[in-house]
Structure 1
């Protein structure tokens, strides 16, 4: 395939990734986009390709013969519908995480990809970040021994702005933010350890957001916008304390992975800072990152080998491009997958398993913390 021609479904914020695919002198070009908003489509044309075909009906996009692949950057609850339709239309698919908001939805997409023979890739861009590729390399090197424990703390600063002012705050649209937000972290735990989660127990609550405000209340029209801690100057921003919000903003998940690895994942959406803190503990040492410092620390213990003689600090080099430089890399990987059948760093099964863990943890939370087995499948695609 000389040049991969791409169409985008969903011209909102995440569609900004299309800039890395639109390279008329390179290996790919963005030729079309679909979204329910005409304004978003016009903005998309201005920022990406002013001659792109645009439509408010994504099915019209899928009918086009001049499109080889579809990138799905629509809201989570539409991923299954859009991905299945695109695959059945004979298009290769790049789908933003989470792959779907149910395990059944993920399986439906994967089975359709297998049936149609088209490529399917999940947008786990954290695998492409220098920070986490370094941590993966350290673990694979064996310097901290066999991994036995993983602790992850996710401080979601501005959680209200990003997740409780719009559709994310309703479980019917997301199932849980353990999928929308947590799928990245769960996937990194699986990727770096090389093991998938078998069972979970979790606790969570709506401890800050939600409340008794009308569902149609917006920040610009609110009487307390000048004193509200979550007020936004943007137009038509829904109140973060409205009645319909039912997605937990404070979660604690305990996981047991294959091989007996114990892991914990903590996620809070009303912290003052934004960072992810990962700790991996092995039989010969411990590894921990600091996103704010841009460093990874390795501490070793007695092992009767050369490894016990030193500790190490890795200073992570900065990359250019959005999401810490990961987006250009993941876009290149999708093109290599479509054009040359080169397998990317991510896999559909990994996307499915991060959703499966998020769904199991959500079930546990809403059932009072019971232990829930994570849905598996026999064949990993």
Structure 2
């Protein structure tokens, strides 16, 4: 295979990722799209600048011989169905995170993938961000000694706009935002530490969004739109204070990883700013990121060596492309995986484990905050 021909399922939130695959004169090309909305179909095709096959029925993509791979960019609750169907049809698959919204769904996907002989890649683009690759490199170098503790604070500015004005706000579609939004952070914790989570305890609540407004109310039709702080005029317009909203808007999670590493993850969706703050603490020092200003700080402690004499600040260089330059990198890695068998930075098993932690944490929150064991799996699935 000299060129990877890709069919896309879903032209919504992550549809822009497909632009990085569309290189008609290069090694990859978008040749088809399945989306239920005809207006989205047309806008997607216009952004590509090339005529492609358009349909509302994703199954029409699976029978086309001019499609080698499927990019599953559909809503979370459809990932399991779409990924399994594509693999069973003999297509390679790129799946946006989370891999599924239940552990059982992830395990079904992995079982089908193992039997298919095709490639499956999960869209953990934070692994491709220079900031987190830098942090992993510092830790792997031994600069902070043996890693013991991880603290993560996630301030989700615009949380209402992105998660409470559409399908994300219903647990039937997401399980919870610890699973949906938090799967990135849970995966980064696993990736950088090199350890998976064994057990969790969590508390959380729906303390700002949700309420008693009608489920069919939209912002443009609302009599309170001139004074409502969550009013949005376009794209995602379902009322953020409607009755059906049932996913927590703030969460506090503590985790015990393999090897005794301790971690915490805090997430809030009604903060005024957007920031991910990671701190990794080891026996010789700690590192912390400032993603707003593009810096990573290395601070050392007394070691009776020259290392204790100075701290170090790393300045991230600007990169082109969405998500801090990560999207073009992860798109290219999928091409490399299929065309040349080059293993990417992510894995289906890693995708499964971030979902497992999110599900266990959600169970803990909704049953009183007790300790919940994270669902593990056999080495046959991992390997």
Please classify the TM superposition score into its range, dividing by the shorter chain length.
over 0.9
Aligned equivalents of 1:306, 1:197: Cα separation in 2: 34
How many Å apart are 1:267 and its aligned residue? 0.2
Q: Which residue does the alignment assign to 2:110? A: 110
Identify the range of structure 1 (126-135 vs 233-242) with the bigger mean alpha-carbon deviation: 233-242
Q: CA deviation at 1:51?
A: 1.1
Post-superposition offset of 1:13? 2.2
Deviates more, 1:311-320 or 1:49-58: 49-58
CA distance in 1 between partners of 2:164 and 2:226 (Å): 18
> What is residue 155 of structure 2 aligned with on the other side?
155
**TM-score with structure 2 setting the length:** 0.98
Match for residue 69 of structure 2?
69
Q: Is the 8 A contact 1:220 1:235 kept in 2?
A: no
For residues 172-183 of structure 1, the aligned pairs below 5 Å read 172-183=172-183
Q: 2: distance between equivalents of 1:38 and 1:377?
A: 41
Cα distance in 2, alignment partners of residues 167 and 47 from structure 1: 25
- TM-score after normalising by structure 1: 0.99
| Contact 1:95/1:123 (<8 A) preserved | yes
Q: Deviations over 1:37-87 (max 9, x none)?
A: 111111111111431101000000111000000000000000000000000
Counterpart of 1:225 in structure 2 is 225
RMSD of aligned alpha carbons:
0.8
Cα separation, 1, equivalents of 2:258 and 2:66? 44
- Please name the residue that 1:330 is paired with: 330
Alignment match, 1:29: 29
Q: Does 1:125 align with 2:94?
A: no
Which residue is 2:341 aligned to? 341
| Partner residue, 1:304 | 304
CA apart distance, 1:351: 0.5
- Is contact 1:22-1:49 (8 Å) kept? no
Counterpart check, 1:274 vs 2:274? yes
Distance 1:5 1:277 in 2: 38
Q: Distance in 2 between matches of 1:234 and 1:11?
A: 17
The separation in 1 between residues aligned to 2:56 and 2:310, in whole angstroms, is 59
Gaps of 5+ in 1: none
Check whether the contact 2:166–2:236 (CA below 8 A) recurs between aligned residues: no
How big is the shift at 1:292?
A: 1.1
Find the residue that maps to 2:14 and give its secondary structure: helix
Kindly indicate whether the alpha-carbon contact (under 8 Å) linking 1:128 and 1:329 is maintained by their aligned counterparts in 2: yes
Residues 99-125 of structure 1, C-alpha deviations (whole Å, 9 max, x = no match): 000001111111111001110000000
Number of equivalences:
381
User: Cα offset for 1:235?
Assistant: 5.9
Which residue is equivalent to 2:252? 252
The C-alpha deviation readout for 1:117-174, integer Å capped at 9, x for no partner, is 1100000000000110100100000000111000000000000000000000000000
Alpha-carbon separation, structure 1, partners of 2:304 and 2:72: 51
Match of 2:239 in 1: 239
Name the residue aligned to 2:16: 16
**Cα separation, 1, equivalents of 2:377 and 2:348:** 12
Partner of 1:13: helix, strand, or coil? coil
Superposition map of 1:192-211 within 5 A: 192-211=192-211
Kept in 1, the 8 Å contact 2:165–2:236? The answer is no
